[in-house]
Structure 1
Amino acid sequence: MRTVHAADLLRLTLDDEPRAGLAVLVAGDRVEAVASPEELAEAYPGVRVRRWSGTLGPALVHDGPLPEAPTPRERVHALFRLGVAAVLDAHVADPALRAAAVRNEVAVLPGARPATLVVGGRADLAVFDADGSCRATVVAGRLVHRRA
C-alpha cells in the first residue's frame, strides 16, 4: 500500500534548508517519489495521505547507548519517540536488545552515516516540531510512533 506523507516543510538531509510544498510517497519499505502532495495524489488516485504539522525528513541515526527502560522492546520504542530508525551495531551487542531492534525493523549499521531521504532508499522518516521534539516516526515504511 502506498502512503503520501506531507508536512508543512520537508528536508532531504538533516542539514538541508526545509522546503514547503513537497511530500514523500512511500511504497512498502521504500521511498517511491518526492513531489508536491497534489502531484502525488493525482498520479496515485485513492492513495492514503498522512498530513503532519512540522518538518518531515529523514529519521535519525542513534549513535550512543539506547535509552534505559525495563525491557529491550521498551528501549527500542524509546528511540522511536526520538525520531530514530537506525542504531550503531556496537550499541546493540546484547542479543535480546539486538533481537528487539531487528524485530522492529530498526536498521543496525556498522558505523555512523548521514541521515538522508532518497528516492529508492529505505522509508525511514520522522516529523519534528520547531522545538525539535518528534511528532511521528516511520521505520521501513511503517508508522511506529505518533504523538497526539
Structure 2
Amino acid sequence: MLTLHTADLLVTGPGSVPVPGGAVLVEGDRIAGVGPYEALAERYPHARTRRWPGVLTPGLVVRGAELLLERTYYPDDPYEIAELGADPVTGAEALDALGLTEARWGNSARRATQKLLSRGVVAVGGRLRVPSVRTAVSRSGLALIPAVPVLPGDGRASGAPDAGDSVPPSLDPFAGRDAVAGAFHGALERGGPARFAAFDAPDLDALLARGATTCVATVIGGRLLHRRR
C-alpha cells in the first residue's frame, strides 16, 4: 500500500531547501517519492494520506549506545518507581546495588528504546555487548551503527576533535549539537529507506529550541512505530 506522509514543512536532509507542504511517499519499507504533497497526491490518487503538524525530517540518531543502554537503568513504571524513583539510574555503585540480571538489562533497554522512538530517533551509535540489550534494540526497529558521522550542526565539527565527546550521551538526539541537521540519520530520497519523523514545531530552529520530545510520529521501515496519542 502506498502512503503519503505530509507536514507543514518537509526537510529532506542537511543543507536541503525546505519544502512547504511537502510529503514523503512510502511503498513498503522504501521511499517511492519526495516532493510537494499536491503533486504527489495527484500522481498517486489512491495513496493513503497521513497528515502531521509541523516539520517532517529524516529520523534522528543518538550516540553513546553502551552508556545509554548498558550503563543506565530505566526503572519500570509503575512497579519500580516507588523504590527507585522515575529518573534513570547511573553510576557503578548504584547499578551494582540493584543486582541487575541480563533479563532486567534487556527490559530496561526495551523501555529506553520506546523513549528514543518517542523522540524521533531511528538509530543508535556505538557498541553493545549484552545480548539481551542487543535483542531489545533489534526488535525495536532501531538501527545500531558503529559510529555517528559528523554532520553540519554537530558540536564535534566546531574545531576541537573531542568537542562532542565532552557531552555525555543522552536520550536527547540534539544534546551537544548546535543545529538539528547534525542529528539527521541519512536523507529522504526516492529509493531510500523509509525512516523519518515528524515534530510539532514550525521549523528547524523552533525544533532545536523546543526539543525532540515534540515528536508526533516516527516511521522506520515504512512502519509507524511511534505516534503521539
Q: TM-score, normalised by structure 2?
A: 0.59
Contact 2:219 2:226 survives alignment (8 Å): yes
Structure 1 residue 139 and structure 2 residue 139: aligned?
Answer: no
Unmatched runs of 5 consecutive residues or more in structure 1: none
Contact 1:31 1:120 survives alignment (8 Å): yes
Whole-Å separation in 2 of the counterparts to 1:84 and 1:9: 19
The one-letter code matched in structure 2 to 1:78 is K
How big is each residue's C-alpha offset from its partner over 1:36-76, in whole Å with a ceiling of 9 and x where there is no partner? 22222222222110000110010101112247424232121
The one-letter code matched in structure 2 to 1:43 is R
Aligned counterpart, 1:127 = 198
Cα displacement (A) at 1:89:
3.8
Give the alignment of 1:9-48 within 5 angstroms. Answer: 9-16=9-16, 18-48=18-48
Greater Rg, structure 1 or structure 2? 2
Q: 1:39 aligns to what SS in structure 2?
A: helix
Cα displacement (A) at 1:17:
5.0
Whole-Å separation in 2 of the counterparts to 1:68 and 1:142: 28
Contact 1:11 1:58 survives alignment (8 Å): yes
Whole-Å separation in 1 of the counterparts to 2:19 and 2:43: 21
CA 1:109–1:144: 2 relative to 1, 3 Å: same
The one-letter code matched in structure 1 to 2:140 is N
Give the alignment of 1:1-148 within 5 angstroms. Answer: 1-16=1-16, 18-64=18-64, 65-66=68-69, 68-69=73-74, 70=76, 71=107, 72-90=109-127, 92-113=128-149, 114-115=184-185, 116-130=187-201, 131-132=210-211, 133-148=214-229
Q: 1:93 aligns to what SS in structure 2?
A: coil
Q: Which has the higher strand share?
A: 1
Identity of aligned residues (%): 44
Q: Which has the higher helix share?
A: 2
Unmatched runs of 5 consecutive residues or more in structure 2: 77-106, 150-183, 202-209
Q: TM-score, normalised by structure 1?
A: 0.88
Contact 1:83 1:137 survives alignment (8 Å): yes
